[in-house]
Structure 1
Amino acid sequence: MRLAIAYDVNDDTDRRRVYRTLERYGAWRQYSVFEVDVSKSERVELEDELESHIEPVDGDRIRIYRLCQSCQDNTTDIGSDPPDEKSNVL
């Protein structure tokens, strides 16, 4: 299944961990946004790992959207290319 994952993480170390975790599963699309292709079991593992990298009491959050095939087919990119691979890694 294809997922779009957006995250807001305050702590630099935790943000780097979230980024590195998502990098193993998919493609960085925009600052704090990834698209990943995972199986059902991989999604559970991914969610568990991401949850371990954030502090909700600090306002951290991760939002996961499932992208159906119709949604994927109707995705439009407007503007410049995605950010440089290293520009968001602290």
Structure 2
Amino acid sequence: MRLAITYDVSDDANRRRVYRTLERYGAWKQYSVFELEISKTDRVELEDQLESQISPSDGDRIRIYRLCSACQDATTDLGDEPPDEQSNVI
């Protein structure tokens, strides 16, 4: 399944952990946004890892969107290409 994952994490160390975890599963598209092609089993594992890396009491949030085939086909990119390397992770 294809997923789009967005995150808003306040603590730099936690944000780095979230970024590096997502990087192992998929492609960084823009600040705080990843796209992944992942199995159902890996999704459960990923969600468990991400949940342990954030602090909801600090306002941290992660949103996971499942992208159906029609959604993927209807995706439009405007502007510059996504960066090849990270630039927003300290």
Shorter chain as normaliser: what TM range?
over 0.9
1:10 aligns with 2:10: yes
Normalised by the length of structure 2, the TM-score is 0.97
CA RMSD of aligned residues (A): 0.8
Does the residue aligned with 2:80 lie in a helix, a strand or coil? coil
Does the residue aligned with 2:85 lie in a helix, a strand or coil? coil
1:70 aligns with 2:70: yes
State the AA in 1 paired with 2:63: R
1: CA distance, partners of 2:41 / 2:66: 15
Cα deviation, residue 8, structure 1 = 0.0
1: CA distance, partners of 2:46 / 2:16: 15
Paired residues of 1:9 and 1:59 also in contact (CA < 8 A): yes
Cα deviation, residue 86, structure 1 = 2.5
Would you say how many aligned residue pairs link Structure 1 and Structure 2?
A: 90
Query: Mean Cα displacement is larger for which, 50-59 or 77-86?
Result: 77-86
* Structure 1: runs of 5+ lacking an equivalent: none
* Structure 2: runs of 5+ lacking an equivalent: none
Cα deviation, residue 89, structure 1 = 1.9
1:22 aligns with 2:22: yes
Q: Which runs of 4+ in 1 moved over 2 A?
A: none
Percent of paired sites with the same residue: 76
Residues 39-78 of structure 1: per-residue CA shift (max 9 Å, x gap): 1110000000000000000000000000001100110000
